[in-house]
Amino acid sequence: MRGGAAGDPLERPGLSSLTARMLSEGTTTRSSEQIADEFESLGARLFAQIDREHAFFSTETLSRNWGKALELLADIVTRPTFPEADLMRVLRERRTDLERIQDDPVGLAERAIDGVLYGPGTPFGHPTEGTLAGLADVDRSQLEALWSSAYQPSRASLILAGDVSLPEAIAGVERALRHWQDRAPAGAPVVPASQAPAVTTLYLLDKPGAAQSVIRAAHPTVPRTDPAYFRLSLLNFAFGGQFTARLNMNLRQDKGYSYGYRSRVEWRRNISSLIAGGSVQTAVTKESVIETLHEFAEINGARPLTTDEFTNARAGMLRGYANLFETPGQVVRQLAELVLYELSADYFQWYQSAIAALSLEEARAAGRELVQADQLAVLVVGDRAVIEPGLRELGLPMVYVDSEGRAIG
């Protein structure tokens, strides 16, 4: 479904995630126990994922049971009742999970980085799983309202992969979803706005007694549909997308600061995020930030991709492509890309050709044009008392933040 965490009411961060979690707690035709029993009888379970821009629900079962699985999935998505007693239990569980995150530096970093880049409390900056304050007085009417507006067939796509013919699929979908009707006009999509710093800035999140420091260096970048997608993907693969990429070879293999230091692009429809980092030894937090900034500067132009790096990255992407289609579940995930980003129906036929056609100069140009080495948000989660003196020596602007990326005193 189009939508997702970006559609949370500003005063209710995490409501989309909570709504998705509650779908399997009961429908107009089944109790939560019946739902659990039916999934068990099919040897299946419900997978629910709430991203910023979409809600994704799936199940996987034996081919002979696909019709029953679809009927069960359709019931959960289109007829939930959000039972009050179950909501209270799920809310307790969610609050416990949110409290536990405060003990996890990696979890804190993942929560805070979007707030730093897009603004805390904004549709693209709040934690997708919610906050304790936002979930403090949630009731079922709020879940029903969000479900009623977001869960509509005009916003949905159904993807099936397996030993199912098109006529069988159409007949099964008509049986399972013929009752599903739009209830209200869909709202306008939420477009994110960057609040990333104009100059590279350190954001320090204090975690007293932390055994390690967690670093995230990030900046917004082009959307998934931008023509630069292919060259930025290849550049990222060489920069931090594989074990032998620059970041990992430097901070793990050469310096021994980290067990793993990578980069990724979180692709979205309107604006994406390039994020690099990992967990490092507390004693070398400053040195790890220095090396991270150094690597961004070098890929930006001081030391562009070498011929070998480019050749290996391109070969790695091409060799690994077939692995993305090994199982029906993986096929569904890949087909979802076509839907989410409105890609052409023949996209998979020419993807490899597009990667193979990239030149070294195009990849280098991506580093020069798309890597913002001087406008990074560098989030460090660690023991402030230990790491702040060293970080101060870098001479960068520093902002203290909480677990939502909100500036504090």
Q: What's the average model confidence in pLDDT over 25-37?
A: 96
Same domain, 254 and 353: yes
Domain boundary among 114, 143, 177: 177
Q: What's the average model confidence in pLDDT over 22-38?
A: 96
Answer whether residue 343 is part of any domain.
Answer: yes
Kind of pairing between the strands at 377-382 and 47-50: unpaired
- The least confident of 84-98, 186-200, 228-242 is 186-200
**If residue 97 lies in a helix (H) or strand (E), which one and from where to where?**
helix 84-101
Same domain, 37 and 164: yes
Q: What's the average model confidence in pLDDT over 82-105?
A: 95
Domain boundary among 143, 177, 211: 177
Kind of pairing between the strands at 398-400 and 201-206: parallel
Domain boundary among 114, 142, 177: 177
Mean pLDDT score of the chain: 95
Answer whether residue 409 is part of any domain.
Answer: no
Q: What's the average model confidence in pLDDT over 47-76?
A: 95
Residue scoring higher pLDDT (193 or 362): 362
Q: What is the structure's pLDDT at 95?
A: 95
Judge contact between 264 and 236, C-beta under 8 A. Answer: yes
Angle between helices 84-101 and 15-22 (to 10 degrees): 130
Answer whether residue 9 is part of any domain.
Answer: yes
Q: What is the structure's pLDDT at 386?
A: 98
Answer whether residue 80 is part of any domain.
Answer: yes
Answer whether residue 186 is part of any domain.
Answer: no
Same domain, 375 and 240: yes
Same domain, 160 and 279: no
Give me the domain span that covers residue 253.
201-400
Q: What's the average model confidence in pLDDT over 127-145?
A: 94
Kind of pairing between the strands at 212-221 and 272-281: antiparallel
Q: What is the 3-state secondary structure (H, E, C) of 24-84?
A: HHEECCCEHHHHHHHHHHHCCCCEEEECCCEEEEECCCCHHHHHHHHHHHHHHHHCECCCH
Q: What's the average model confidence in pLDDT over 14-37?
A: 96
Same domain, 12 and 88: yes
Confidence of residue 169 (pLDDT cuts 50, 70, 90): very high
Same domain, 41 and 172: yes
* pLDDT > 90? residue 60: yes
* pLDDT > 90? residue 3: no
Confidence of residue 192 (pLDDT cuts 50, 70, 90): confident
Q: What is the structure's pLDDT at 103?
A: 93
Confidence of residue 189 (pLDDT cuts 50, 70, 90): confident
Q: Count the Cβ atoms, other than its own, within 10 Å of residue 116.
A: 26
Same domain, 149 and 211: no
Same domain, 257 and 377: yes
Q: What is the CATH number of the domain that holds 354?
A: 3.30.830.10
Q: What is the structure's pLDDT at 138?
A: 94
Q: Count the Cβ atoms, other than its own, within 10 Å of residue 179.
A: 8
Answer whether residue 192 is part of any domain.
Answer: no
Q: What's the domain count of the chain? A: 2
Same domain, 37 and 120: yes
Answer whether residue 333 is part of any domain.
Answer: yes
Same domain, 117 and 250: no
Q: What is the structure's pLDDT at 409?
A: 77
Same domain, 15 and 142: yes
Per-residue pLDDT tens over the stretch 295-321:
999 999 999 999 999 999 999 999 999
Q: What is the structure's pLDDT at 388?
A: 98
Same domain, 106 and 230: no
- The least confident of 136-140, 250-254, 369-373 is 136-140
